[in-house]
Amino acid sequence: MASKYVHVREYTVRAHQRLIHTRVFNFVCKQCDRSTKRETYGPRPLYCEKCRPPQAPRKSVTRSQKAKPRPMAYKSGLDLN
Ligand SMILES: [Zn+2]
């Protein structure tokens, strides 16, 4: 069977779901310089779980509590006839 290299053009993949897996990295934390390991989905982590907790507490998004205008039934003694 003959074989040869062909050039494959860059193309955009459609949006799709992909199952990804975590990996356990052994590394040295950049902040505390201790060797540690950490499980991540993405690239090699830089910081240990103490320096960068896995789920950092989200800053509570304080939404501006704007009072919405409400329809109000005004009672008046005036008769509009
Ligand atoms: Zn650390």
Q: Ligand 1 mean position to 20 CA, how many Å? A: 26
Q: Is the pLDDT of residue 7 over 80?
A: yes
Question: Over the Cα atoms of the chain, what is R_g?
Answer: 29
pLDDT at 27: 95
pLDDT at 51: 94
Q: Ligand 1 mean position to 17 CA, how many Å? A: 33
35-76 pLDDT, tens per residue? 999 998 888 899 999 999 887 566 666 666 677 788 877 777
| Rounded Cα gap, residues 46 and 29, in angstroms | 6
pLDDT at 63: 61
pTM: 0.47
| Rounded Cα gap, residues 50 and 33, in angstroms | 12
Cβ atoms of 47 and 29 within 8 Å: the answer is yes
Q: Ligand 1 mean position to 42 CA, how many Å? A: 18
pLDDT at 76: 72
Q: Ligand 1 mean position to 35 CA, how many Å? A: 8
Cβ atoms of 36 and 53 within 8 Å: the answer is no
Q: Ligand 1 mean position to 32 CA, how many Å? A: 4
pLDDT band at 17 (very low <50, low <70, confident <90, very high): very high
Beta bridge partners of 26: 37
The amino acid at 40:
T
